[in-house]
Structure 1
């Protein structure tokens, strides 16, 4: 892995917060990787779900800041799952393993879609306390690739990476955003063919969110006003789907505001959504 220029705190984070690996499926090749920081006695933590290109450590700045404020924060990296139901079942097993009945979910792009699908999946026995959806979407058809979704598993790694990189910002950006993009390219390079193929499959296979199943869950929609992979139409569809949602708009931040605008994102997360159940008061 090359030099990480996003923050001088990154290497310190890697040396102080251990990466855990957990298997909850019968298939022992399906390994969840996660960072778990903050007071362990908190039973309703905030869980971060990454985008297609992301690993668990893309949320290192949220982990450091929010755990420092007394919150329990968990950042995940998914195993290889090929459909949304399989993912939701695996995620439920992970929460059972961690003995977590309720959680707050922060999902970026694909992570936000999977968070919504999990809330939908558990609507009869709710497991999701709130949703924060960052640059996310509610219908995979916006990518116009539902017809190719079942062929990603056949493609070589370099082709899959090229598809993902096509959604990264290519125009001039400020130095902090440029470092964030470099960081995400580095993270993308660390993913294997099956990991990337499965994520693109989840991102593009025909599916949409059924809002009536999650209408009682508080939602915050976080998006940016500058260039990102999310179209204006996709953003407007999210606003229509969740008319009572709180909105957290960032003037800039591109595809990865949790990296390049972390202070704003952390403040929105703390002020707008997290309640005392996620935090030890007085820390």
Structure 2
């Protein structure tokens, strides 16, 4: 099978050769392996962490990792191990943050990644770990997928059946080449997932679960949406706005399901706008260049 346009691109090849893929085991079960790319200044202790969709791997955010780290941000893109319950996922991610010695983070989460980001913020609300959320094509209640009854059976379904379930949300009716390229790339990532990886993600995506927004009142939220067709209906987006009435909104005219790939320049600008208010504070995802230059002047 020929590789997608994105996988063959010079930019993606440069990313793979310059940013190493790291693996961490933080659970007692050694089969649960977190994978991540970590780029940008390591002295930044409140980085931007990217959570992929059900079909995605850590490299789907390579355009964010490259562009944002180049201007001083620390960006960590993660890939989840096999977890079957929300509590298990949240505990595992908390252990990963402890291992990386990160007390606070910002999260950019897309689709399932956006839902997991909200649930982790909710899970840690008594001892907050999440400063802010950027939720792209995200949802806060899994009942929208009408799969809550069948979710407990995903673990035993063949990989091919699970992949077809995910592919049903990939609209290929686009004429836009960047959107088509982004779909091809995600299909490749999907093909690389094992049956258990995909089944566990779909279980988290579809099990009967919802976010309690009152527990996220101290979290700064930006909701990022596309105006063209994506897997989420207009009604679901409206519910997200009601859930977070004080959230800032970042709208893209188009971009499909994966705007962080198909419209990366716009998405990266919105991310920088969201994070700018934290510049110069202990919650900045960016290296404080003014302090750096002042220090170099005095030495």
> Normalising by structure 2, what TM-score?
0.93
* Residue in structure 1 matched with residue 67 of structure 2 by the alignment: 65
* Residue in structure 2 matched with residue 203 of structure 1 by the alignment: 205
- 2:288 matched to 1:281? yes
* Residue in structure 2 matched with residue 187 of structure 1 by the alignment: 189
* Residue in structure 2 matched with residue 104 of structure 1 by the alignment: 106
* Residue in structure 2 matched with residue 77 of structure 1 by the alignment: 79
Q: Distance in 2 between matches of 1:168 and 1:198?
A: 20
For the residue of structure 2 that corresponds to 1:33, the secondary structure is strand
Correspondence 1:14-163 to 2 at 5 A: 14-163=16-165
CA contact (8 A) 1:2 1:186 kept: no
CA contact (8 A) 2:172 2:180 kept: no
| Residues matched between the structures, number | 283
* Residue in structure 1 matched with residue 5 of structure 2 by the alignment: 5
Q: Which runs of 5+ in 2 are unaligned?
A: 293-299
Q: Distance in 1 between matches of 2:102 and 2:48?
A: 11
CA displacement, residues 141-165 of structure 1 (integer Å, 9 cap, x when unaligned) = 0000000000000100000000000
CA contact (8 A) 1:220 1:273 kept: no
Correspondence 1:185-264 to 2 at 5 A: 185-264=187-266
CA contact (8 A) 1:107 1:136 kept: yes
For the residue of structure 2 that corresponds to 1:278, the secondary structure is coil
CA displacement, residues 108-135 of structure 1 (integer Å, 9 cap, x when unaligned) = 0000000000000000000001000000
CA contact (8 A) 2:275 2:285 kept: no
Q: Distance in 2 between matches of 1:29 and 1:194?
A: 11
Q: Which runs of 5+ in 1 are unaligned?
A: none
Alignment root-mean-square deviation, CA: 1.1
Q: Displacement, 1:236?
A: 0.5
CA contact (8 A) 1:45 1:72 kept: yes
> Normalising by structure 1, what TM-score?
0.98
CA displacement, residues 159-216 of structure 1 (integer Å, 9 cap, x when unaligned) = 0000000000121331111111100000000000000000000000000000110111
CA contact (8 A) 1:4 1:10 kept: no
Q: Displacement, 1:2?
A: 4.0
Runs of 4+ in 1 over 6 A off after TM superposition: none
Q: Displacement, 1:271?
A: 1.1
Q: Displacement, 1:233?
A: 1.2
Q: Distance in 2 between matches of 1:120 and 1:180?
A: 31
Q: Distance in 2 between matches of 1:18 and 1:272?
A: 27
Q: Displacement, 1:281?
A: 2.7
